[in-house]
Each structure stands twice: as structure tokens, then as C-alpha cells.
Amino acid sequence: MKKAVVILSGGMDSTTTAYIAKNQGYEVIAVHFNYGQRTEKRELKSYNNVCNELNITKKYVIDLDFFTQIGASALTDKNISVPTTGLEDGVPVTYVPFRNGIFLSIAGAIAEKENAKAMFIGVVEEDSSGYPDCTDEFIKSMQESINLGTKKETNIEIKTPLIHLKKEDIVKKAIKEKVNLSLTWSCYQNEDKACGVCDSCRLRLKGFEKAGFKDPIAYLEK
């Protein structure tokens, strides 16, 4: 069976991406990163629950505590508040410097080791928070770099099935792929009930509302 490494945070986008990889016939190798984010424990719980749901047995959980040393993000530096007043123009303070570049580099090493032909990542360019490491151009450059920097016989394609979708289309896609959305977690700051007001919660709730479906997870505010 063809193998694919899937970067799986446990959020709605990455979980939908994992289901797509599975439904396309790949043996999924799930990779999760603990990087000192505020909701680290809750995301790990979602990751494990999604892996159990999809019968994924090949799993890597990688600890990257240096992200808190670097800081410069509201997700990894407790001195920077997570914005709760709505989406702003430009790159928000929840952006973690070069996070997806680092994630993809490590996932590339795993893919080479596992002889995987593809890597999946649930980045969204069209309707995201404006993160520079979520663009089509960036992903293509990373694919080229990974293939240049690995063995000659290694040829990995980075697949981004959600990159040009809006959040409401991702919700519809998740429903179509029969994703168990109750297992997913998107909130940037809470680990019990989602806050409902951070950028990620706002984007998710707006997506469900526009798609005409009810979000199955619990929120403090909507």
C-alpha cells in the first residue's frame, strides 16, 4: 500500500486532510508536534482520538520545545495575549515564525525514512488568518527543497487538498468525507471549552454557520 505522512494537529483542517488521505487509499503515518502551544495537551488528545478513529497505528509525536525559546507568537509566549476582538489585517500575533517550514522539514525526514510517496498538510491560503507559511507558493518551494535535500530515490509530493477552500467549503468537505468533527479542536487558548472568540474559533464558527451545519464541540461564547 502507498504511504503518506500526514501532519495532524487534531484541528478541523488537519483532521479533514487525514481523512482525505485515508479515503484516497494511503496508509497514513500521522505526525504530531508538541511545541509549547497554549492548548498542547488538548491538541494531543484530539490527535490520539483521530488516530484511533482512523485506525492509524504508525504515529510520531515530536516534542519541539525550542519554539517557546523563540517566542514571538501569542501561541507560544504567555506574555503575548491571544487576540479576541476579531480578525485583523496583516499577519496576526498568533503566527508562529516559520512553524510549517520546520514541521514540513521534520515530516520530510520521516517520509524519507518510511519510503512515503506523499506528505499531506491541511494549510489553507484562501480563508486563513494570513499566515505566510500557508501559501501555495511556499508549499511548492518546500517540496522542491525536500526533494533536493534527500536521497536521489526519494520523491515526495506535498499534497494540500484544502489550500484553496474557504472555511465553509472545508466544513462541507469534512461532512462529505465523514469526518468525526466532534473529535477536533481548533481553539487557540482554552483546553476545556473552546473560547469562541479567538481567531481560530471565529473562523471555524463562521465556516459552520455559512455551511449550514452545527459545530459539534462546546463553546464558552459564540
Write the pLDDT tens digit of every residue in 32-70.
999 999 999 999 999 999 999 999 999 999 999 999 999
CA–CA distance, 23 with 35 (Å, rounded to integer) = 29
pLDDT tens-digit series, residues 130-148: 899 999 999 999 999 999 9
CA–CA distance, 17 with 160 (Å, rounded to integer) = 8
Specify the pTM.
0.97
Question: Would you state the pLDDT for residue 129?
Answer: 76
CA–CA distance, 180 with 49 (Å, rounded to integer) = 10
Residue 68: count of CB within 10 angstroms of its CB: 15
CA–CA distance, 60 with 19 (Å, rounded to integer) = 17
* pLDDT < 70 positions in the chain: 127-128, 222
Query: Quick one: what percent of the chain has pLDDT higher than 70?
Result: 99
What's the CA dihedral at 17, 176, 10, 101 to 10 degrees? Answer: 20
